[in-house]
Amino acid sequence: MPEIQVFESPEALYTGAAEEIARSAEAATLQKGRFSIALSGGSTPRGVYERLAESQCEQSLPWKETHFFWGDERHVPPEHPESNFGIAWEALLSKVAVPSRNIHRIPAEVEDPLRAAKLYEDDLLQFFRYPPGGWPRFDLILLGVGTDGHTASLFPGTEALSVDDRSVAPNWVESLASWRITLTLPAINHAERVIVLAAGGEKAGILRKALREPGGETPLPIQRVRPLSEGLVWMVDREAGRGIL
């Protein structure tokens, strides 16, 4: 069973997650002189990004040593309202002294989603310097979870779920009639630490399913997030946690 932290309110969740990120950043920077984090998309993490951007808060990060990546991206340009990069840029990255070379955006404006995925994977190879057949080792990956059990852009029944020889894959999501670019499960599961964020009563059902029901023959995508490091923690507010308390 993964570690589950339940917070009284969404605000307490955002602060708790920001503190956890700051702890990971401090440990990684002390150990290696840099910190690599893959941000999540969606609306839940916005509050965490805003908390991190509050320059006087004790959770501020070592910006010059912190490298920002994304777990997934919509197939849109960075200025598009649905861009995961755009959300993080507006809430955090435009407000802190992180060097532009430390921002590793998924080039989702590239027309061919396969080429966009390859370009992002080349960036990961360059940064993490892992050998062929190896995997990037993010210090921390932030994930959300959809009410259908998807995470990053790994949606139930989609092809990217079965990609086991690449760190990044394009993924056609029929239910959205759109392409996504996403980290694959092996890339996620080789991270040092993974935080799954969930807030709001609409997530209570999927948390109960994901954390209290066995995955069986076809586990939910979120149930397949099992870091080899065993560094998985769910950070949820009381409303979302209703399904598991």
- Note the residues at the interface with ligand 6PG (CB under 6 A): 40-44, 71-72, 84, 144-146, 150-153
The counts of H helices and E strands in the chain are 7, 9
Our CB check for ligand 6PG shows the closer of 71 and 243 to be: 71
The end-to-end CA distance of the chain, in Å, is 14
User: CB of residue 32 vs ligand 6PG: minimum separation in angstroms?
Assistant: 26
What stretches of 2-161 show up as alpha helix (H) in DSSP?
Answer: 10-32, 46-53, 84-91, 113-128
Asked if 220 and 209 touch (Cβ cutoff 8 Å), the reply is yes
* C-alpha–C-alpha distance, residues 5 and 196, integer Å: 10
Our CB check for ligand 6PG shows the closer of 26 and 159 to be: 159
User: CB of residue 24 vs ligand 6PG: minimum separation in angstroms?
Assistant: 19
DSSP SS3 for 73: strand
Q: What is the CA radius of gyration of the chain?
A: 17
Our CB check for ligand 6PG shows the closer of 6 and 181 to be: 181
User: CB of residue 168 vs ligand 6PG: minimum separation in angstroms?
Assistant: 14
Our CB check for ligand 6PG shows the closer of 27 and 103 to be: 103
Q: How far is CA 230 from CA 2, 3, 194, in A?
A: 8, 10, 9
User: Which single residue brings its beta carbon nearest to ligand 6PG?
Assistant: 144
User: CB of residue 83 vs ligand 6PG: minimum separation in angstroms?
Assistant: 9
User: CB of residue 60 vs ligand 6PG: minimum separation in angstroms?
Assistant: 23
Contacts of 112 (CB under 8 A, 6+ apart): none
Beta bridge mates, 72? 182
User: CB of residue 141 vs ligand 6PG: minimum separation in angstroms?
Assistant: 11
Our CB check for ligand 6PG shows the closer of 150 and 193 to be: 150
Q: Which helix H or strand E contains 172, and what residues bound it?
A: strand 168-173
Our CB check for ligand 6PG shows the closer of 62 and 78 to be: 78
